Structure 1
Amino acid sequence: MWALQFHTPHTLRSSSYSVCTARTSSKPPICSLTLNPSNPTKPETNCNHLIQSLCKQGSLKQALEVLSHEPNPTQHTYEALILSCSRQSSLSDGLDVHRHLVDAGFDQDPFLATKLINMYSELDAIDNARKVFDETRKRTIYVWNALFRALTLAGHGQEVLDLYRRMNQIGIPSDRFTYTYVLKACVASESLISLLHTGKEVHAHILRHGYESLVHITTTLVDMYARFGSVSYASYVFDEMPVRNVVSWSAMIACYVKNGRAFEALELFREMILETQDSIPNSVTMVSVLQACAALAALEQGKLIHGYILRRGLDSILPVISALLTMYARCGKLELGQRVFDQMEKRDVVSWNSLISSYGIHGCGRRAIKIFEEMIYHGVSPSHVSFVSVLGACSHAGLVEEGKMLFESMVKQHRIHPSVEHYACMVDILGRANQLDAAAKIIEEMRIEPGPEVWGSLLGSCRIHCNVELAERASRRLFELEPMNAGNYVLLADIYAEASMWDEVKRVKKLLEARGLQKIPGRSWIEVKRHVYTFASVDEFNPQIEQLHALLVKLSTEMKEQGYVPQTKAVLYDLDVEEKERIVLGHSEKLAVAFGLINTSKGETIRISKNLRLCEDCHSVTKFISKFTDREILVRDVNRFHHFKDGICSCGDYW
């Protein structure tokens, strides 16, 4: 048997069995074969094998040294070198290997072209990946797929779709991987609205070529429709799946959560647990389920899920723990969220961000800032999200000067350049504090293009302070940037209604109707005895609706005797006072509060979540009810938490 001996350049000796000789006589051989007495006839390896072995061991530099002395490197050798460059994140070595294989005549090898494209993708050198593709004359489907994958990961979705059309035009058939990358490309582009149609076309191609039975393709379809907000399409694809795995179940649950349908997410999770044995929920599933519990403020459901996580041994996975922390905080149990954080053996920036955000939505701005400072003290560098969380906390607590200082520290101390989200936070901080001119100036001086988040923050602040002039300016930009976002039209109409500009209200409503848009209906959720109940404004289908209305009328009468005056400016109709009062009395959160009073024990805390901002009248009514009934009522709206107790709200009427 032949035994391989590797010598460093300093200890090389000539050998009559040398098979890898230097390219010039001045260099000694690197690789040699020696005779093994046990088998004197069979050679075991050569320099190609040595290079491949060194790559597997992570010795890339030594492998490259041996390569310089190998006259006939093989395809497998180059493959090993390319993979090693990727693993060691070495672009310079990758470029050297690329040049070497071109010199060796492998530049038109489709297999190696695929590997090179993958390498450049992983090394964030997308231009090099494109160049490999462009210079490869024989492009197999694997070469196309490699570039599709690289471009999708780099966020160049539109380019993938253009290449996909070109590939179809020249008659190259797609395979199962092609469709996965192209579907992901549909949501990797910035123009999501226009690409929904493209996604449906790709879906049609999948059906036409019989790939709809492959679970990874249908799961990607579910995810694509989820990102477009097309829940009905995602649900249809999921229901038609012949086979489902944990990934497909998780994708559909996440679809419901991301699109504001947390109730359906919990129902689907329950179905997954009861009806399947092969698809056991994993950490990804549990993160989405915890997010659903958080969205509904379903504390008891969340506790059950926590128990399931402990039984499954998923409580050591950081994303799960962070989601658990957030769930407790968003269910109004901030102390339990803090306890989860305190018990964590390892904390990453996501965990810290979750805690900062949790205190922020509860209006504890100064505590959130302190936690932010503790994070830095413990050696965890703040991320983009960290500043969004802490600036948001400043906004909810009215900490204007603190917010300004944190914003300025981003570049000066942490070398993080503000993004659109950070500017939106600053506009919100100033706008809520009625510093609308300063907020507008921030937008004017932005070094990047203000996005809908920024203009939306300004419009929301104009709604709070009824600034018609600035609201019109902000809405004009929003109608251009988000023509299909009904919320912007409703906000502007609210502002006009408060200013009694009824002709303008009618104009905005006509514009809303002309574009086929509808106001998002207000919904509230309450958990009673581990069951979640949902309420819509002026809900006529609840079996207890008459009892709920009777209780609200009784409470309203008592409150008026104590000085309560209904605030009806949220009603976008020019109606008489009594009719407006009837409408606001039927708001979903009032119905949920009444339901909680009737169906929970005396003294029990009532927890409600709402999908929109809490209106002024509901805020005022809930304060009165908390005092009259001696109940603590927690309401979480789309922005923050409101803790009502003894007629006082934790927000201090600043929200």
Structure 2
Amino acid sequence: MSITKPITLLSRDLSFFHSLLKSRIHGENSSSPITIFRDLLRSSLIPNHFTISILLQASTPSSSPHHASVDSLKLVQTHLTKSGLDRFVYVKTSLLDLYLKMGFVNTARVLFDEMPERDTVAWNALISGYSRNGYERDAWQLFISMLQQGFLPSATTLVNLLPFCGQCGFVSQGRSVHGIAAKSGLEMDSQVKNALISFYSKCTELDSAELLFTEMKDKSTVSWNTMIGAYSQSGLQEEAFTVFKNMFGERVEISSVTIINLLSAHVSQEPLHCLVVKTGMVNDNSVITSLICAYSRNGYLDSAERLYASATEDSIVGLTSIVSSYAEKGDMDTVVLYFSKMRQLCMRIDAVALLGILHGCTNSSHIDVGMSLHGYAIKSGLCTQTLVVNGLITMYSKFDDVETVLFLFEQLHEAPLISWNSVISGCVQSGRASTAFEVFHQMKLSGGPMPDAITIASLLAGCSQLCCLNFGKKLHGYTLRNSLENEKFVCTALIDMYAKCGNVVLAESVFKSVKAPCTATWNSMISGYSLSGLQSRALSCYLEMREQGLKPDRITFLGVLSACTHGGLVEEGKICFREMVNEFGISPSLQHYALMVGLLGRACLYTEALSLIWEMDLKPDSAVWGALLSACIVNREVELGEYVAKKMFMLDYRNGGLYVLMSNLYAAGEMWDDVVRVRKMMKDHGYDGYLGVSQT
């Protein structure tokens, strides 16, 4: 039996400590690298430059879960100075790089400034570290200083610079980097070329990206993925798929990034899923998560849930995608179940996940769920994030709870423009336009941000509510001074405002100034003509819209049918209704049916009106029956009116407006005893307040 002699502190040599540090790099040792280094110093051994190099590698965040403190790193720096090892530029550069990876930017800069000798690698480490820690402009200034001091950039320098040029809109700087790359011959480096392709795609200069990609002789998987990603970011699905087919034809290895980029381009998930199975990427969690998101986004929730259940790891991103899709559909019961599951799995629900769920709280029936989510946001600390507060403001606006909206807004320490817009829009949507105007004036008085197109559009909607033509004109002037008239949704809001404030001439003027009106803009003009009693112009506008090749939607036909109803254009209304259903495949809503019933009823076509009601796919509501009852009042059709009133009574016997309509029906037929009887019923049921609004 052999007895292994224990290794004493004195019997340890440098190679032993080197082995410990290397095992730390490979994840085979849980000890802190700094602890190992301290043990080495206690053993009276003298570390060499190789020791320090391994130590610094082992201390990087990717290698060590025990992030080194700045004091621990200064211990290493002090030893380097005392031992003279700091004369090796690469050793000091490694320390510099480690400071930057730990986020100690200022300390790293001091160390760099103290270096007696620097090489391109040291400059690269500092430039990369500044960029990585969010100091992009400083990184660019460092690059200029590097060139001024006579250092030639390497491929690594340019690859570190180009990403932030694309992200921060430094287009001219990025082009300068391209010029330097071409002049120095670094443009031929595949990494530089890939970075340039990515830069140009982020700056929406796809022609330049395509040219660089075409010129590449040896395209790697990264090159193909970069080009697919460029098209994906620009929403060019067909182009992204064409590059992928060429990549497949060239037999280039397909990676997980390839699949993720294609899914980002909204390429059909089913064939990509098959490819994932075929290529053995089913265990790649990033790919599976992307597939789950794609299935959820396209409404295939059963497939998304089955795929999630088969995944080897729980994914907060995948589960958030499923929950957000259910929330978007309004299925809040399922949302609550999944939310509970996420909590049971101890998943940290972030701001994005919570926001996706909050969007599903669309009406007062969801108020309990919404308030529970609000409670979770407070408990988890997410209420401190502006993104979540804006989501809560939007949710409470849908509940018409303006007081809570204003309370949440007041709790914000700093209110960015998006928060002001959320409050203003929420107040308008809740029918509190005057409050929205007060918030806007507060924004101006407090020196808040300048209003943008969204602010103006919301305020214009408020002007439409209150018929504030003068304020609307001032907002119109602001849009012209600030070149916001190019935003079509602003022009649409202007047209709507002028029409609802009774100035169809100015509405028409704005409409004519729009170069290529979208469907929403046409809809506003059609509705504007209808509101102004210009029914023939509304129909002409609809026909012109059709000639321009635009496809009408539900709102278009509401405007057209409203014009036909108010103008008594029966045949035109019938034609438009048939076109909506048969030609465009739009299922009529209750509003569409109410307009058609009103149109037929006012033309005394009662049989057609009743046939339409009986043939409805939807259950007729009080608005549909009310349209027919109003027609009976106008035409003094008492017998049918009584039948319709009974139908309405069965739907909602507590509707005080029904008694008013019945009173008006009997008054139109000069049946005064019945008028007195109905008015007595109103008093008995506590609806005498409606008597002042009855019409004869």
**TM range, smaller chain:** 0.5 to 0.7
Counterpart of 1:473 in structure 2 is 540
Counterpart of 2:65 in structure 1 is none
- After superposition, the Cα gap between the structure-2 partners of 1:295 and 1:216, relative to the gap in structure 1 and judged at 3 Å, is farther
- After superposition, the Cα gap between the structure-2 partners of 1:96 and 1:426, relative to the gap in structure 1 and judged at 3 Å, is closer
- After superposition, the Cα gap between the structure-2 partners of 1:371 and 1:345, relative to the gap in structure 1 and judged at 3 Å, is same
Counterparts of residues 535-614 of structure 1 (less than 5 Å) = 566-567=629-630
Q: Is the 8 A contact 1:245 1:278 kept in 2?
A: no
Alignment equivalent of 2:221, drawn from 123, 141, 144 = 141
- After superposition, the Cα gap between the structure-2 partners of 1:257 and 1:522, relative to the gap in structure 1 and judged at 3 Å, is farther
- After superposition, the Cα gap between the structure-2 partners of 1:521 and 1:91, relative to the gap in structure 1 and judged at 3 Å, is closer
Counterpart of 1:115 in structure 2 is 195
Alignment equivalent of 2:518, drawn from 448, 451, 457 = 451
Counterparts of residues 415-564 of structure 1 (less than 5 Å) = 415-446=483-514, 448-462=515-529, 464=531, 467-476=534-543, 479=546, 483=551, 485-489=553-557, 491-515=559-583, 517-519=585-587, 521-522=589-590
Counterpart of 1:344 in structure 2 is 412
- 1:284 maps to 2:352: yes
Q: What is the SS of the residue equivalent to 2:382?
A: coil
Counterpart of 1:184 in structure 2 is 264
What are the superposed Cα offsets for residues 490-517 of structure 1, whole Å, 9 maximum, x if unpaired? 5534543454444334333332343462
Structure 2: stretches of 5+ with no match in the other structure: 1-47, 51-79, 94-117, 131-137, 592-612, 633-638, 656-680
Paired letter, 2:216: T
Q: Is the 8 A contact 2:123 2:146 kept in 1?
A: yes
Counterpart of 1:328 in structure 2 is 396
- 1:312 maps to 2:357: no
Paired letter, 2:119: C
Paired letter, 2:455: S
Paired letter, 2:409: F
Q: What is the SS of the residue equivalent to 2:383?
A: coil
| Distance across 1 between alignment mates of 2:324 and 2:683 | 39
Query: How high is the TM-score relative to the length of structure 1?
Result: 0.67
- After superposition, the Cα gap between the structure-2 partners of 1:466 and 1:277, relative to the gap in structure 1 and judged at 3 Å, is farther
- 1:51 maps to 2:132: no
| Distance across 1 between alignment mates of 2:397 and 2:121 | 57
Counterpart of 1:103 in structure 2 is 183
| Distance across 1 between alignment mates of 2:457 and 2:289 | 31
Counterpart of 1:384 in structure 2 is 453
| Distance across 2 between alignment mates of 1:340 and 1:254 | 23
Of 467-476 and 576-585, deviating more is 576-585
Q: What is the SS of the residue equivalent to 1:347?
A: coil
Alignment equivalent of 1:397, drawn from 447, 466, 486 = 466
- After superposition, the Cα gap between the structure-2 partners of 1:499 and 1:248, relative to the gap in structure 1 and judged at 3 Å, is farther
Q: What is the SS of the residue equivalent to 1:315?
A: helix
Counterpart of 1:371 in structure 2 is 439
- 1:250 maps to 2:320: yes
Q: What is the SS of the residue equivalent to 2:426?
A: helix
Counterpart of 2:162 in structure 1 is 82
Deviation at 1:122, TM superposition (A): 4.6
Of 342-351 and 488-497, deviating more is 488-497
| Distance across 2 between alignment mates of 1:583 and 1:409 | 51
| Distance across 1 between alignment mates of 2:345 and 2:565 | 55
What are the superposed Cα offsets for residues 545-565 of structure 1, whole Å, 9 maximum, x if unpaired? 9xx99xx99xx9xxx9xxx99
Between structures 1 and 2, the one with greater strand share: 1
- After superposition, the Cα gap between the structure-2 partners of 1:522 and 1:40, relative to the gap in structure 1 and judged at 3 Å, is closer
Counterpart of 2:361 in structure 1 is 293
Counterpart of 1:9 in structure 2 is none
Q: Is the 8 A contact 1:627 1:647 kept in 2?
A: no
Q: Is the 8 A contact 2:165 2:174 kept in 1?
A: yes
Paired letter, 1:52: N
Paired letter, 1:47: D
Cα RMSD of the aligned pairs, angstroms, is 4.6
- After superposition, the Cα gap between the structure-2 partners of 1:390 and 1:516, relative to the gap in structure 1 and judged at 3 Å, is closer
Paired letter, 2:411: Q
Paired letter, 2:320: S
What are the superposed Cα offsets for residues 414-461 of structure 1, whole Å, 9 maximum, x if unpaired? 453441101110111122234334423321222x31111111222334
What are the superposed Cα offsets for residues 200-257 of structure 1, whole Å, 9 maximum, x if unpaired? 3x53233234267756556555666777xx53x3554344433452222332343345
Q: What is the SS of the residue equivalent to 1:337?
A: helix
Q: Is the 8 A contact 1:388 1:425 kept in 2?
A: yes
| Distance across 2 between alignment mates of 1:358 and 1:627 | 37
Counterpart of 1:411 in structure 2 is 480
- After superposition, the Cα gap between the structure-2 partners of 1:213 and 1:452, relative to the gap in structure 1 and judged at 3 Å, is farther
| Distance across 2 between alignment mates of 1:147 and 1:133 | 7
Counterparts of residues 35-74 of structure 1 (less than 5 Å) = 38=84, 44=90, 47-55=119-127, 56-57=129-130, 58-67=138-147, 74=154
Q: What is the SS of the residue equivalent to 2:412?
A: coil
Q: Is the 8 A contact 2:335 2:357 kept in 1?
A: no
- After superposition, the Cα gap between the structure-2 partners of 1:581 and 1:141, relative to the gap in structure 1 and judged at 3 Å, is farther
Q: Is the 8 A contact 1:568 1:580 kept in 2?
A: no
Deviation at 1:361, TM superposition (A): 2.1
| Distance across 1 between alignment mates of 2:431 and 2:691 | 14
| Distance across 2 between alignment mates of 1:416 and 1:82 | 32
- After superposition, the Cα gap between the structure-2 partners of 1:171 and 1:47, relative to the gap in structure 1 and judged at 3 Å, is same
Counterpart of 1:208 in structure 2 is 275
Counterpart of 1:26 in structure 2 is none
Paired letter, 1:311: K
Of 425-434 and 70-79, deviating more is 70-79
| Distance across 1 between alignment mates of 2:252 and 2:428 | 53
Counterpart of 1:601 in structure 2 is none
Deviation at 1:316, TM superposition (A): 0.5
Q: Is the 8 A contact 2:519 2:551 kept in 1?
A: no
Paired letter, 1:380: P
Q: What is the SS of the residue equivalent to 2:424?
A: helix
What are the superposed Cα offsets for residues 151-194 of structure 1, whole Å, 9 maximum, x if unpaired? 443455554345445545555454332333333334xxxxxxxx
| Distance across 2 between alignment mates of 1:508 and 1:288 | 38
What are the superposed Cα offsets for residues 111-131 of structure 1, whole Å, 9 maximum, x if unpaired? 222222333445565554344
- After superposition, the Cα gap between the structure-2 partners of 1:393 and 1:254, relative to the gap in structure 1 and judged at 3 Å, is farther
Query: How high is the TM-score relative to the length of structure 2?
Result: 0.63
Counterpart of 1:614 in structure 2 is none
Question: % of aligned pairs identical?
Answer: 16
| Distance across 2 between alignment mates of 1:464 and 1:316 | 45
Deviation at 1:463, TM superposition (A): 5.1
| Distance across 2 between alignment mates of 1:169 and 1:98 | 30
- After superposition, the Cα gap between the structure-2 partners of 1:226 and 1:387, relative to the gap in structure 1 and judged at 3 Å, is farther
Counterpart of 2:661 in structure 1 is none
What are the superposed Cα offsets for residues 386-406 of structure 1, whole Å, 9 maximum, x if unpaired? 111111111122222211210
Deviation at 1:347, TM superposition (A): 0.7
Q: Is the 8 A contact 1:47 1:66 kept in 2?
A: no
Between structures 1 and 2, the one with greater helix share: 2
Deviation at 1:312, TM superposition (A): 1.3
Q: Is the 8 A contact 1:490 1:519 kept in 2?
A: no
| Distance across 1 between alignment mates of 2:296 and 2:526 | 28
| Distance across 2 between alignment mates of 1:357 and 1:491 | 24
Q: What is the SS of the residue equivalent to 1:205?
A: helix
- After superposition, the Cα gap between the structure-2 partners of 1:379 and 1:627, relative to the gap in structure 1 and judged at 3 Å, is farther
